[in-house]
Amino acid sequence: MIIDSRPERSGCSDDEACAAALAALGVSPARLRRLLAVGSARDCWEGVLAGDHPADPERRSHRLARTGMPEEISRRCSDAGIEIVVPGSARYPRRLSDDPDAPAVLFARGDPRCVDDVPAVALVGTRSATGAGRQCAFDMGATLASAGVGVVSGLAPGIDVEALSGAVSAEASPAISVLGTAHDGLVRVDQRRLASALCAGGAVVSELPPTVASSRWRFAVRNRVIAALCDLVVVVESHERGGAFHTVAHAQRRGIPVAAVPGSSRSSASEGSNALLVSGALCVRDGADVVDLLGRVGRLARDPAGRRRPRRADGGLGLSSEAAGILGAVGSEPTTLDSLVLRSGKPLGQVALALEELAEAGFVRAEGGFWMTR
């Protein structure tokens, strides 16, 4: 018989509960991943509790940890109907499984895997949306859901709430919201009501357990999860320095296409989204455009394991005939999208799609609104 000679520690035998307890310390997602990278979640928790965890040399997490936290956090989640989901478990979203910044633990209501097997689009934008922007987001969410597309967003007032409300109204494809707070951090009645509706056929997920306070920086970090869950990001309406740009940046780092809805040049709520269009984002007007775009730009198809893979195209360079034709019009000197339309004689939308394909394949790059070969 093998005898464990390690000193007895007051910890938890449930790995998920121990991971949840570490998340309850309020550390950043990156720091939480480092804490959980050493052995099992139980070993990591006990190391923090004892003050000898190698990823906590200054013992900052140790000072926040206390005996019984795993059981307490697990009980809170159970009482609130919240599931603790960790990487490697059957309930962890496949879309996140190979992401370099995947959450080390998710607190979920509903089915966190709900968009694994359907095309998914993130609809994001400003909290202080115009009436037209809100209506556009609602209609776009409804159209996408009716077409069998999963809708991904936050749950902030404005574009997020309207997009998800539209998706729920269609009673078709699932939708998922990624919170920047704990589940009990939703202060508005309409947010709580929408969250309950989402859980009926989709999900609401957070990286924080109940009763743990959030911080402003978590909303920007949360946006990486929104980007990783989708095949396309659409900015419906955004101010010049809106939070939607965090989602855009996370999408671009993952090779996920970005589109935007054009707005009035006189509206500050459209300054950011219009700027994205100028810098080369794809242009969409409504949900029908997004559905069409998914069909034409959906090169980020997924294999059965949920990983992104390039869709093969015809042509000696591995390009579509449209992209191969546009490649000849792009030179080593910077040129604008309008110039390429004139050179090629092709419609604006076709040129924009071809440039996206060329950029993804590594033949061209965009810089400051100009295109050039690599």
pLDDT at residue 323, as a whole number = 79
Lowest-confidence segment of 49-63, 98-112, 322-336 by average pLDDT: 322-336
Structure tokens at 169: 């109204």
**Which whole number is the average pLDDT over 250-274?**
90
Is the pLDDT assigned to residue 84 strictly greater than 60?
yes
Strands 120-125 and 232-237: parallel
Closest of 78, 86, 93 to residue 45, by C-alpha: 86
Domains of the chain (ranges; CATH) run: 11-79 (no CATH), 109-302 (3.40.50.450), 312-373 (1.10.10.10)
List residues bridging with 84 in a β-sheet: 107
Instruction: Tell me the percentage of the chain whose pLDDT exceeds 90.
Output: 59
Angle at 261 between CA 159 and CA 333, to 5 degrees: 135
**Which whole number is the average pLDDT over 272-297?**
88
Angle at 88 between CA 54 and CA 26, to 5 degrees: 45
Question: In this predicted model, what pLDDT tens digit does every residue of 136-180 receive, in sequence order?
Answer: 999 999 999 999 999 999 999 999 999 999 999 998 889 999 999
List residues bridging with 150 in a β-sheet: 120
Confidence of residue 4 (pLDDT cuts 50, 70, 90): very low
Dihedral through CA 39, CA 45, CA 46, CA 50, nearest 10? 120
Closest of 335, 308, 338 to residue 119, by C-alpha: 308
CA distance 165 to 274: 24
CA distance 217 to 30: 13
Closest of 162, 155, 160, 158 to residue 127, by C-alpha: 158
**Which whole number is the average pLDDT over 359-372?**
78
**Which whole number is the average pLDDT over 282-307?**
69
Question: In this predicted model, what pLDDT tens digit does every residue of 308-319 receive, in sequence order?
Answer: 443 333 333 556
Is the pLDDT assigned to residue 122 strictly greater than 90?
yes
Determine what percent of the chain falls in helix, strand and coil, rounding each to the nearest 5: 45, 15, 40
Is the pLDDT assigned to residue 363 strictly greater than 90?
no
**Which whole number is the average pLDDT over 272-281?**
90
Averaged pLDDT of the chain: 85
Q: Return the HEC string of 259-277.
A: EECCCCCCCHHHHHHHHHH
